[in-house]
């Protein structure tokens, strides 16, 4: 984090990334002095409600964040910023989004947790758009013009007012990660489940934190063993509502590739789930996408996968996918970074924050998730050195079939490995 004093003193001359959070109510004009170098601008957590109309002076600007400010409309300051690829206005008070105000260079747009009811038809002109986060608004329908967004891969629509998911969206050639829970059109399940009081748990340590909540290790007096429990934050995340994630966890029957849900917490203001504790030797298969990769996972430098490991992961995750879609549930975040794996290649698919129930009569939902599986397989195969082996070539053929831009040509999960 930088300071306004540093900016005004000239100390930041030549930097590529600027982050300022000092309750700013006006855009600091001194930022223009960084025009020859600035690529990433983060003015989140301020009191801004407008921006100057000459932001194009920041000629190298690629990424701009304005989360947690006071904007009531999407500013019309970016149309001439022709290098801008990523723009974020998460958690503002935006109600108005006018036509033709964004640069068509944008590939990643974040408008989560605002008050937008209507999207402009000009969204269809964002033909480079790959990733779009619109959860937590009041959107009633998507403009049909968005069917021109043929490069769209990830779309978050949860916690809106959508009456239906249009078929043109489901037929987009590259859509792979879709979330739409918490809408009138999404199916709702509120399963009955064992309830355990909070005081049953003796908290031992925090294991991690994600967008929707925190995970702890604890001892449960009821179960007489150590468990994991997830305490949800309750706010709208980029994926949707916590209660929808919790219901998704509780609605799916057991599977060897899913972490077993034991109970839910009783009588607390914050929602919580008690889960089977996964041994310490399990690690994430990958890392989340970066600003550079946009929709695709990243991996630690030097990571390599044997073809045997890829086969095991692929078979196990195809089995999980078949199980979920048999229960009419789209995971929505089918990624390596949401898979836990150990040294003998046992694996679990976790994180149901983007999960959505759907009408099983429409096979397109599963075919979308199949493309996500194909992207996962592609990522793993790109880190494999055994490219001349028959097994590798068979997996590459499956990968290509799963990523076919004609969704009708993609296999279903239960067709991928017929010996399962």
Q: What is the pLDDT of residues 4-47, one digit of tens each?
A: 999 999 999 999 999 999 999 999 999 999 999 999 999 999 99
Q: Are residues 367 and 328 in the same domain?
A: yes
Q: Are residues 269 and 314 in the same domain?
A: no
Other Cβ atoms within 10 Å of 270 Cβ, number:
13
Mean pLDDT of 231-247: 82
Q: Are residues 269 and 307 in the same domain?
A: no
Domain boundary among 254, 276, 298: 276
Q: Are residues 379 and 298 in the same domain?
A: yes
Read off the pTM: 0.94
pLDDT value, residue 69: 98
Task: Report yes or no: 339 and 348 within 8 Å, Cβ to Cβ.
Answer: yes
Q: Are strands 195-197 and 201-209 parallel, antiparallel or unpaired?
A: unpaired
User: Any idea what the CATH number is for the domain that residue 299 is in?
Assistant: 1.10.510.10
Average pLDDT, the chain: 94
Q: Are residues 288 and 408 in the same domain?
A: yes
Q: Are residues 232 and 326 in the same domain?
A: no
Among left, alpha and beta (phi > 0; psi -120 to 50; other), residue 222 is: alpha
Q: Are residues 363 and 252 in the same domain?
A: no
Q: pLDDT digit string (tens) for 56-82?
A: 999 999 999 999 999 999 999 999 999
Extract the tokens encoding 44: 């989140």
Range of the domain at 350: 283-415
Q: Are residues 408 and 344 in the same domain?
A: yes
Q: pLDDT digit string (tens) for 174-194?
A: 999 999 999 999 877 777 788
- Give the integer Cα–Cα distance in Å for 71 and 132: 19
Domain boundary among 221, 245, 276: 276
User: Any idea what the CATH number is for the domain that residue 252 is in?
Assistant: 3.30.200.20
Q: Is the pLDDT of residue 95 over 60?
A: yes
Q: Is the pLDDT of residue 99 over 60?
A: yes
Number of domains in the chain: 2
Domain boundary among 218, 243, 276: 276
């Amino acid at each position: 984090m930088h300071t306004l004093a540093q900016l005004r003193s000239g100390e930041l001359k030549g930097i590529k990334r600027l982050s300022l959070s000092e309750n700013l109510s006006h855009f600091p004009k001194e930022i223009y002095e960084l025009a020859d170098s600035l690529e990433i601008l983060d003015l989140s957590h301020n009191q801004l409600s407008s921006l100057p109309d000459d932001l194009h002076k920041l000629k190298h600007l690629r990424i701009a964040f304005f989360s947690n400010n006071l904007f009531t409309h999407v500013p019309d300051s970016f149309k001439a910023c022709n290098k801008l690829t990523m723009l974020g206005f998460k958690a503002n008070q935006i109600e108005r989004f006018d036509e033709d105000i964004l640069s068509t260079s944008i590939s990643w747009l974040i408008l989560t947790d605002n008050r937008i009811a209507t999207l402009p038809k000009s969204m269809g002109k964002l033909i480079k758009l790959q990733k779009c986060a619109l959860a937590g608004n009041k959107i009633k329908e998507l403009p049909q013009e968005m069917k021109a967004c043929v490069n769209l891969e990830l779309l978050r629509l949860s916690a809106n007012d959508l009456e239906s998911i249009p078929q043109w969206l489901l037929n987009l050639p590259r859509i792979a990660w879709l979330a739409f829970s918490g809408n009138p059109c999404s199916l709702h399940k509120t399963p009955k489940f064992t309830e355990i009081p909070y005081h049953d748990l003796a908290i031992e340590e925090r294991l991690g934190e994600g967008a929707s909540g925190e995970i702890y290790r604890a001892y449960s007096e009821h179960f007489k063993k150590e468990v994991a429990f997830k305490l949800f934050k309750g706010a709208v995340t980029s994926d949707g509502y916590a209660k929808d994630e919790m219901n998704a966890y509780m609605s799916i029957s057991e599977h060897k590739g899913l972490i077993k849900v034991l109970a839910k917490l009783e009588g607390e203001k914050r929602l919580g789930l008690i889960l089977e504790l996964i041994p310490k030797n399990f690690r994430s298969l990958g890392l989340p996408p970066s600003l550079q990769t946009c929709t695709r996972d990243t991996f630690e430098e030097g990571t390599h996968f044997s073809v045997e490991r890829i086969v095991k992961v692929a078979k196990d995750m195809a089995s999980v996918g078949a199980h979920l879609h048999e229960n009419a549930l789209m995971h929505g975040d089918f990624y390596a970074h949401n898979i836990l794996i150990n040294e003998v290649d046992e694996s679990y698919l976790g994180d149901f924050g983007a999960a959505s129930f759907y009408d099983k009569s429409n096979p397109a939902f599963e075919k979308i998730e199949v493309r996500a599986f194909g992207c996962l397989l592609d990522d793993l195969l790109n880190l494999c050195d055994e490219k001349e082996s028959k097994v590798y070539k068979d997996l590459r053929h499956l990968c290509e079939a799963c990523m076919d831009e004609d969704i009708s040509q993609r296999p279903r999960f239960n067709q991928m490995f017929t010996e399962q």
